[in-house]
């Protein structure tokens, strides 16, 4: 009976967290702050009454979690774009559903089907890319905030590499009038277990999560990793860059993300 009285409230609380977006964000922020010392610069750029297309650099797999929980403090609810591979796990899929996440297809896999031993028509991937763009634009038009990573992958070197990606350019070229572009420069996560420091392959999610949980339990005895989030409204800059074509737009955006690295004394972020 005593065991039941002790465990039942805990189970009820965990169930409420699992089914409530707000509780999940609050608990997530508390958990992350025990592991990371987060500093926010440029918070004055954030207005809860505005609609945002949020475009961060991508140093590590964990940075969307930190970003979403920090923006929740400013009453900014985000609909993230998430790689379709994360939807394969039932629990993760449920959490993504709470955030109304948009599934992003793996276009590299789409362009090669080893079972069929043929490449599908180019129109297939182009059609899905357009559909994704329309979903983003429809969400922004209706007043929803979108989290979009222009590079589409975590950085290998510490510098952002957008290359010929087109989604960010296409969306900003047709940006609804009521939408502002909020760029985020994230520092401090490159070099963590969630990053590709040294050019290694992307860390396996489940294995890294288990390792991260183990480190979290000892966080009281470890120095918290310093993470800095720098926000800037670059709506006018982005529109100007987009009007000059995708190549120039991507290069300008990469330069914005990496603009502070030389000031820090590095060609790329220092592994730590």
Q: What is the CATH number of the domain that holds 229?
A: 3.40.1130
The Cα–Cα gap between 190 and 226 comes to: 11
The Cα–Cα gap between 35 and 139 comes to: 33
Q: If we measure between CA atoms, which residue out of 36, 41, 5 comes closest to residue 231?
A: 41
Asked if residue 29 is part of any domain, the answer here is yes
Looking at the structure of the chain, the number of domains it has is 1
Instruction: Please tell me the predicted confidence (pLDDT) of residue 109.
Output: 53
**Model pTM score:** 0.82
110 has pLDDT over 90: no
The DSSP result for the chain, as a single string, is: -HHHHHHHHHHHHHHHHHH-HHHHHHHHHHHHHTTEEEEEE-GGG--TTSEEEEEE--SBTTHHHHHHHHHHHTT--EEEEEEGGGGGSHHHHHHHHHTTPEEEP-HHHHT-BTTTTBPPPHHHHHHHHHHHHHHHHHHHHTT-EEE--SS-S--SSSS---TT--HHHHHHHT--TTEEEEEEEEES-TTSTTB-GGGPPPPPHHHHHHHHHHHHHTGGGSPPEEEEEEEEE-HHHHHHHHTT-HHHHHHHHHHHHHTTTTTTT-SSPPP-
Residue with tokens 């709506």: 235
The lowest-confidence range among 4-13, 110-119, 180-189, 251-260 is 110-119
Asked if residue 263 is part of any domain, the answer here is no
Asked if residue 264 is part of any domain, the answer here is no
Residue 225 has which token pair? 């990793």
Asked if residue 265 is part of any domain, the answer here is no
What is the distance between the terminal CA atoms of the chain, rounded to a whole angstrom?
Answer: 49
More confident residue, 116 or 176: 176
146 has pLDDT over 90: yes
Instruction: Please tell me the predicted confidence (pLDDT) of residue 265.
Output: 54
Length of the chain: 272
Residue 266 binned pLDDT confidence (cut-offs 50, 70, 90): low
Beta carbons of 150 and 250 less than 8 angstroms apart: yes
Q: Beta strands 145-147 and 102-104: pairing type?
A: unpaired
Mean pLDDT over 110-128 rounds to 50
270 has pLDDT over 50: no
Instruction: Please tell me the predicted confidence (pLDDT) of residue 205.
Output: 82
Instruction: Please tell me the predicted confidence (pLDDT) of residue 21.
Output: 76
The Cα–Cα gap between 150 and 253 comes to: 9
Asked if residue 181 is part of any domain, the answer here is yes
Asked if residue 269 is part of any domain, the answer here is no
The Cα–Cα gap between 272 and 269 comes to: 9
Domain around 144: 2-258
Asked if residue 130 is part of any domain, the answer here is yes
Residue 268 binned pLDDT confidence (cut-offs 50, 70, 90): very low
| Each residue's pLDDT tens digit, 54-106 | 999 999 999 999 999 999 889 888 888 887 777 777 777 777 787 788 877 76
More confident residue, 268 or 145: 145
Instruction: Please tell me the predicted confidence (pLDDT) of residue 1.
Output: 54
> What would you measure as the largest C-alpha separation in the chain, in angstroms?
70
Instruction: Please tell me the predicted confidence (pLDDT) of residue 32.
Output: 92
Asked if residue 267 is part of any domain, the answer here is no
The Cα–Cα gap between 137 and 153 comes to: 21
| Each residue's pLDDT tens digit, 150-201 | 998 899 989 999 988 999 999 999 999 989 999 999 999 999 999 998 878 8
Instruction: Please tell me the predicted confidence (pLDDT) of residue 181.
Output: 97
More confident residue, 83 or 242: 242
Q: If we measure between CA atoms, which residue out of 145, 175, 160, 146 comes closest to residue 237?
A: 175
Average pLDDT across the chain, whole number: 82
Q: If we measure between CA atoms, which residue out of 50, 251, 68, 55 comes closest to residue 168?
A: 55
7 has pLDDT over 80: no
The lowest-confidence range among 10-19, 83-92, 195-204, 240-249 is 10-19
Q: What is the share, in percent, of the chain residues with pLDDT greater than 90?
A: 43
Helix axes 246-258, 235-242, angle to 10 degrees: 140
Residue 123 binned pLDDT confidence (cut-offs 50, 70, 90): low
């Amino acid at each position: 009976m005593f065991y039941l009285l002790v465990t039942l409230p805990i189970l009820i609380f965990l169930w409420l967290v699992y089914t409530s977006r707000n509780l999940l964000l609050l608990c997530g922020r508390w958990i992350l702050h025990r592991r990371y010392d987060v500093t926010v610069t440029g918070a004055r750029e954030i207005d809860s009454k505005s609609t945002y297309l949020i475009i961060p650099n991508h140093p590590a797999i964990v940075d969307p979690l930190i970003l979403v929980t920090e923006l929740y403090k400013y009453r900014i609810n985000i609909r993230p774009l998430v790689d379709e591979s994360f939807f394969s796990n039932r629990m993760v899929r449920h959490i993504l559903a709470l955030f109304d996440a948009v599934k992003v297809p793996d276009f590299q896999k789409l362009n090669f089907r080893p079972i069929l031993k043929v490449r599908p028509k180019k129109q297939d991937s182009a059609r899905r890319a357009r559909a994704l763009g329309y979903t983003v634009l429809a969400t922004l038009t209706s007043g929803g905030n979108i989290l979009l990573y222009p590079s589409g992958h975590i950085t290998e070197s510490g510098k952002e590499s957008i290359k010929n990606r087109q989604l960010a350019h296409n969306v900003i070229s047709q940006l609804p009038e009521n939408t502002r572009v909020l760029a985020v420069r994230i520092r401090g996560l490159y070099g963590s277990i969630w990053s590709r420091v040294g050019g290694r392959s992307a860390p396996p999610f489940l294995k890294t999560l288990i390792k991260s949980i183990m480190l979290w339990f000892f966080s009281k005895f470890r120095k918290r990793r310093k993470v800095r989030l720098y926000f800037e409204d670059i709506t006018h800059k982005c529109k100007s860059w987009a009007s000059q074509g995708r190549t120039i737009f991507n290069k300008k955006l990469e330069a914005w993300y990496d603009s502070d690295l030389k000031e820090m004394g590095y060609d790329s972020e220092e592994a730590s």
